[in-house]
Structure 1
Amino acid sequence: MTESMEGQEMLPGRWPEPVLTCDLIIARELTDALSHQERFSGALSASMEFPVGDKSDAAMAAKYKMSMYLQAYIASAAISDLLRKIQGLAPGLADQIAREFNDLHESGEQGELIWEWAAERGLDPADIINTVKHGLAQEETP
Protein backbone atom coordinates (compact mmCIF):
# COMPACT_ATOMS: atom_id res chain seq x y z
CA MET A 1 0.00 0.00 0.00
CA THR A 2 1.29 3.43 -0.90
CA GLU A 3 1.35 5.95 1.90
CA SER A 4 1.12 9.67 1.31
CA MET A 5 3.48 12.18 2.82
CA GLU A 6 2.01 14.68 5.22
CA GLY A 7 0.44 17.49 3.20
CA GLN A 8 0.69 15.51 -0.05
CA GLU A 9 -2.52 14.37 -1.70
CA MET A 10 -2.68 10.91 -3.15
CA LEU A 11 -2.57 10.87 -6.92
CA PRO A 12 -4.64 10.94 -8.98
CA GLY A 13 -6.40 13.61 -6.99
CA ARG A 14 -9.59 13.36 -9.03
CA TRP A 15 -10.91 10.58 -11.15
CA PRO A 16 -11.73 10.85 -13.89
CA GLU A 17 -9.17 13.56 -14.41
CA PRO A 18 -10.63 16.84 -15.65
CA VAL A 19 -10.09 17.80 -19.28
CA LEU A 20 -7.21 20.22 -19.20
CA THR A 21 -7.98 23.67 -20.49
CA CYS A 22 -5.78 26.69 -20.85
CA ASP A 23 -7.60 28.25 -17.88
CA LEU A 24 -6.88 25.23 -15.67
CA ILE A 25 -3.21 25.18 -16.61
CA ILE A 26 -2.89 28.92 -16.03
CA ALA A 27 -4.58 28.56 -12.63
CA ARG A 28 -2.20 25.71 -11.73
CA GLU A 29 0.85 27.71 -12.81
CA LEU A 30 -0.29 30.85 -10.97
CA THR A 31 -0.86 28.78 -7.82
CA ASP A 32 2.60 27.26 -8.24
CA ALA A 33 4.19 30.68 -8.90
CA LEU A 34 2.71 32.20 -5.76
CA SER A 35 3.68 29.14 -3.73
CA HIS A 36 7.24 29.17 -5.07
CA GLN A 37 7.52 32.91 -4.49
CA GLU A 38 6.61 32.46 -0.84
CA ARG A 39 8.98 29.50 -0.47
CA PHE A 40 11.74 31.54 -2.15
CA SER A 41 11.17 34.36 0.32
CA GLY A 42 11.53 31.96 3.25
CA ALA A 43 14.59 30.30 1.73
CA LEU A 44 16.16 33.72 1.08
CA SER A 45 15.70 34.65 4.73
CA ALA A 46 17.21 31.33 5.80
CA SER A 47 20.20 31.73 3.48
CA MET A 48 20.92 35.20 4.86
CA GLU A 49 21.58 33.69 8.28
CA PHE A 50 24.90 32.39 6.94
CA PRO A 51 27.92 34.64 6.42
CA VAL A 52 29.04 35.42 2.87
CA GLY A 53 31.36 32.69 1.61
CA ASP A 54 30.11 30.03 4.05
CA LYS A 55 30.46 26.69 2.26
CA SER A 56 29.06 24.52 5.05
CA ASP A 57 26.50 21.89 4.09
CA ALA A 58 23.73 23.85 5.83
CA ALA A 59 24.65 27.11 4.07
CA MET A 60 24.89 25.45 0.67
CA ALA A 61 21.56 23.66 1.19
CA ALA A 62 19.92 26.98 2.04
CA LYS A 63 21.37 28.60 -1.10
CA TYR A 64 20.33 25.67 -3.29
CA LYS A 65 16.77 25.81 -1.92
CA MET A 66 16.62 29.53 -2.60
CA SER A 67 17.83 29.04 -6.18
CA MET A 68 15.47 26.12 -6.76
CA TYR A 69 12.41 28.07 -5.62
CA LEU A 70 13.43 31.16 -7.59
CA GLN A 71 13.86 29.11 -10.77
CA ALA A 72 10.51 27.37 -10.23
CA TYR A 73 8.81 30.73 -9.59
CA ILE A 74 10.22 32.24 -12.78
CA ALA A 75 9.19 29.21 -14.85
CA SER A 76 5.60 29.17 -13.54
CA ALA A 77 5.26 32.94 -13.94
CA ALA A 78 6.58 32.78 -17.53
CA ILE A 79 4.27 29.89 -18.44
CA SER A 80 1.29 31.78 -16.99
CA ASP A 81 2.20 34.91 -18.93
CA LEU A 82 2.73 33.06 -22.21
CA LEU A 83 -0.53 31.10 -21.96
CA ARG A 84 -2.48 34.26 -21.09
CA LYS A 85 -1.06 35.94 -24.19
CA ILE A 86 -1.96 32.92 -26.34
CA GLN A 87 -5.53 33.05 -24.95
CA GLY A 88 -5.76 36.69 -25.98
CA LEU A 89 -4.31 36.22 -29.46
CA ALA A 90 -5.73 32.80 -30.39
CA PRO A 91 -8.62 31.94 -28.07
CA GLY A 92 -9.83 29.14 -30.34
CA LEU A 93 -6.45 27.39 -30.18
CA ALA A 94 -5.48 28.19 -26.59
CA ASP A 95 -6.78 24.96 -25.00
CA GLN A 96 -5.10 22.75 -27.60
CA ILE A 97 -1.79 24.65 -27.38
CA ALA A 98 -1.87 24.54 -23.58
CA ARG A 99 -2.59 20.78 -23.51
CA GLU A 100 0.20 20.04 -25.99
CA PHE A 101 2.58 22.24 -23.99
CA ASN A 102 1.57 20.48 -20.78
CA ASP A 103 2.01 17.01 -22.31
CA LEU A 104 5.44 17.90 -23.67
CA HIS A 105 6.68 19.25 -20.37
CA GLU A 106 5.41 16.24 -18.45
CA SER A 107 7.13 13.84 -20.88
CA GLY A 108 10.68 14.83 -19.98
CA GLU A 109 11.81 15.13 -23.60
CA GLN A 110 12.88 18.78 -23.42
CA GLY A 111 16.62 18.10 -23.50
CA GLU A 112 16.45 16.26 -26.79
CA LEU A 113 13.92 18.66 -28.25
CA ILE A 114 15.89 21.77 -27.31
CA TRP A 115 18.88 20.29 -29.14
CA GLU A 116 16.69 19.61 -32.22
CA TRP A 117 15.03 23.03 -32.11
CA ALA A 118 18.40 24.78 -31.90
CA ALA A 119 19.74 22.79 -34.86
CA GLU A 120 16.58 23.56 -36.88
CA ARG A 121 17.32 27.26 -36.44
CA GLY A 122 20.90 26.96 -37.60
CA LEU A 123 22.43 26.97 -34.14
CA ASP A 124 25.12 24.46 -33.21
CA PRO A 125 24.14 23.03 -29.80
CA ALA A 126 27.53 21.35 -29.29
CA ASP A 127 29.33 24.63 -30.03
CA ILE A 128 27.10 26.52 -27.59
CA ILE A 129 27.77 23.97 -24.85
CA ASN A 130 31.53 23.98 -25.53
CA THR A 131 31.59 27.78 -25.39
CA VAL A 132 29.89 27.69 -21.99
CA LYS A 133 32.27 24.98 -20.74
CA HIS A 134 35.25 27.06 -21.87
CA GLY A 135 33.85 30.12 -20.11
CA LEU A 136 33.29 28.15 -16.92
CA ALA A 137 36.85 26.82 -17.04
CA GLN A 138 38.13 30.39 -17.43
CA GLU A 139 36.08 31.52 -14.43
CA GLU A 140 37.55 28.73 -12.29
CA THR A 141 41.15 29.53 -13.25
CA PRO A 142 42.78 31.73 -10.57
Structure 2
Amino acid sequence: MNSPPGLHVEQPHGDDALGDWRHVHNAVIPVQPLSLAEVRERAERNHLDLARAGGVLVGSTTVRPPKDGVATVIARVLPAHRRRGYGTELYAHALHQARALGATAIETCVLASNEDGPRYARVHGFTEIDRYVLPGSTIP
Protein backbone atom coordinates (compact mmCIF):
# COMPACT_ATOMS: atom_id res chain seq x y z
CA MET A 1 0.00 0.00 0.00
CA ASN A 2 1.37 3.45 -0.90
CA SER A 3 1.20 5.70 2.12
CA PRO A 4 1.79 9.43 2.30
CA PRO A 5 5.45 10.04 3.11
CA GLY A 6 6.29 8.98 6.62
CA LEU A 7 2.87 7.46 7.47
CA HIS A 8 3.24 4.60 9.92
CA VAL A 9 0.22 2.56 11.05
CA GLU A 10 0.37 0.17 13.99
CA GLN A 11 -1.81 -1.47 16.58
CA PRO A 12 -1.69 0.34 19.95
CA HIS A 13 -0.21 -1.68 22.82
CA GLY A 14 -0.26 -0.40 26.39
CA ASP A 15 -2.07 2.45 28.04
CA ASP A 16 0.04 5.21 26.48
CA ALA A 17 -0.77 4.07 22.94
CA LEU A 18 -4.41 3.38 23.81
CA GLY A 19 -4.46 6.90 25.27
CA ASP A 20 -3.30 8.22 21.90
CA TRP A 21 -6.12 6.30 20.17
CA ARG A 22 -8.51 7.77 22.75
CA HIS A 23 -7.19 11.27 22.02
CA VAL A 24 -7.96 10.92 18.30
CA HIS A 25 -11.42 9.51 19.00
CA ASN A 26 -12.31 12.24 21.51
CA ALA A 27 -10.97 15.02 19.27
CA VAL A 28 -12.96 13.81 16.25
CA ILE A 29 -16.06 12.64 18.19
CA PRO A 30 -16.34 15.18 21.02
CA VAL A 31 -20.01 14.33 21.64
CA GLN A 32 -19.05 10.81 22.77
CA PRO A 33 -15.79 11.06 24.73
CA LEU A 34 -14.37 7.72 25.83
CA SER A 35 -12.48 6.85 28.99
CA LEU A 36 -9.30 4.78 28.87
CA ALA A 37 -11.26 1.84 30.34
CA GLU A 38 -13.77 2.08 27.46
CA VAL A 39 -10.93 2.13 24.93
CA ARG A 40 -9.38 -0.95 26.54
CA GLU A 41 -12.73 -2.74 26.17
CA ARG A 42 -13.02 -1.70 22.52
CA ALA A 43 -9.52 -2.98 21.86
CA GLU A 44 -10.61 -6.43 23.06
CA ARG A 45 -13.51 -6.72 20.58
CA ASN A 46 -12.34 -4.53 17.65
CA HIS A 47 -9.11 -4.02 15.74
CA LEU A 48 -7.71 -0.57 16.58
CA ASP A 49 -4.76 1.12 14.86
CA LEU A 50 -2.88 4.40 15.24
CA ALA A 51 -1.32 6.44 12.45
CA ARG A 52 1.71 8.67 12.82
CA ALA A 53 3.55 10.74 10.25
CA GLY A 54 7.09 11.65 11.11
CA GLY A 55 6.37 10.51 14.67
CA VAL A 56 3.36 12.86 14.99
CA LEU A 57 -0.05 11.38 15.76
CA VAL A 58 -2.37 12.05 12.78
CA GLY A 59 -5.24 9.56 13.08
CA SER A 60 -6.64 6.17 13.93
CA THR A 61 -8.78 3.36 12.60
CA THR A 62 -11.33 0.95 13.99
CA VAL A 63 -12.43 -2.26 12.32
CA ARG A 64 -15.39 -3.99 13.90
CA PRO A 65 -15.27 -7.66 12.90
CA PRO A 66 -17.88 -8.86 10.42
CA LYS A 67 -21.33 -9.79 11.66
CA ASP A 68 -23.38 -11.58 9.01
CA GLY A 69 -20.60 -10.65 6.59
CA VAL A 70 -20.76 -6.89 7.32
CA ALA A 71 -17.76 -5.18 8.92
CA THR A 72 -17.66 -1.60 10.14
CA VAL A 73 -14.61 0.40 9.09
CA ILE A 74 -13.89 3.78 10.65
CA ALA A 75 -10.96 6.07 9.74
CA ARG A 76 -10.38 9.22 11.77
CA VAL A 77 -7.89 11.97 11.01
CA LEU A 78 -7.17 14.82 13.39
CA PRO A 79 -8.39 18.13 11.90
CA ALA A 80 -4.90 19.63 11.62
CA HIS A 81 -3.79 16.73 9.40
CA ARG A 82 -6.71 16.44 6.98
CA ARG A 83 -6.53 16.82 3.19
CA ARG A 84 -3.07 15.26 2.97
CA GLY A 85 -4.09 11.75 1.93
CA TYR A 86 -4.01 10.21 5.40
CA GLY A 87 -7.74 9.45 5.46
CA THR A 88 -7.57 7.64 2.14
CA GLU A 89 -4.62 5.55 3.31
CA LEU A 90 -6.21 4.78 6.67
CA TYR A 91 -9.47 3.80 5.00
CA ALA A 92 -7.61 1.48 2.57
CA HIS A 93 -5.67 -0.03 5.48
CA ALA A 94 -8.84 -0.69 7.50
CA LEU A 95 -10.69 -2.00 4.44
CA HIS A 96 -7.89 -4.52 3.86
CA GLN A 97 -8.15 -5.66 7.48
CA ALA A 98 -11.94 -6.03 7.24
CA ARG A 99 -11.65 -8.14 4.10
CA ALA A 100 -8.98 -10.29 5.76
CA LEU A 101 -11.49 -10.95 8.55
CA GLY A 102 -13.98 -12.22 5.96
CA ALA A 103 -16.13 -9.13 5.38
CA THR A 104 -18.30 -9.28 2.27
CA ALA A 105 -19.79 -5.82 2.85
CA ILE A 106 -18.50 -2.66 4.53
CA GLU A 107 -20.29 0.02 6.53
CA THR A 108 -19.03 3.06 8.38
CA CYS A 109 -20.18 5.56 11.02
CA VAL A 110 -19.73 9.30 10.58
CA LEU A 111 -20.53 12.16 12.92
CA ALA A 112 -22.95 14.29 10.90
CA SER A 113 -21.71 17.56 12.42
CA ASN A 114 -18.19 16.84 11.12
CA GLU A 115 -18.66 18.26 7.61
CA ASP A 116 -15.56 16.51 6.27
CA GLY A 117 -16.78 13.07 7.42
CA PRO A 118 -20.06 12.70 5.49
CA ARG A 119 -18.50 14.25 2.38
CA TYR A 120 -15.54 11.84 2.59
CA ALA A 121 -17.87 8.85 3.03
CA ARG A 122 -19.96 9.80 -0.03
CA VAL A 123 -16.84 10.25 -2.18
CA HIS A 124 -15.75 6.74 -1.18
CA GLY A 125 -19.03 5.15 -2.23
CA PHE A 126 -21.00 5.06 1.00
CA THR A 127 -24.72 5.81 1.00
CA GLU A 128 -26.42 7.19 4.07
CA ILE A 129 -29.00 4.75 5.38
CA ASP A 130 -29.58 5.93 8.94
CA ARG A 131 -29.06 8.77 11.37
CA TYR A 132 -29.24 8.49 15.09
CA VAL A 133 -28.46 10.57 18.14
CA LEU A 134 -26.05 9.25 20.75
CA PRO A 135 -27.42 8.99 24.27
CA GLY A 136 -27.14 12.37 25.98
CA SER A 137 -26.49 14.26 22.72
CA THR A 138 -28.56 16.32 20.32
CA ILE A 139 -26.18 15.92 17.37
CA PRO A 140 -26.84 13.14 14.82
Pick the structure with more strand per residue.
2
Structure with greater Cα Rg = 1
Please state which band the TM-score falls in when normalised by the shorter chain. under 0.3
Pick the structure with more helix per residue.
1
* TM-score of the pair, normalised by structure 1: 0.24
* TM-score of the pair, normalised by structure 2: 0.24
Q: Which structure would you say has the larger RCO, counting Cα contacts within 8 Å and 6 or more residues apart?
A: 1
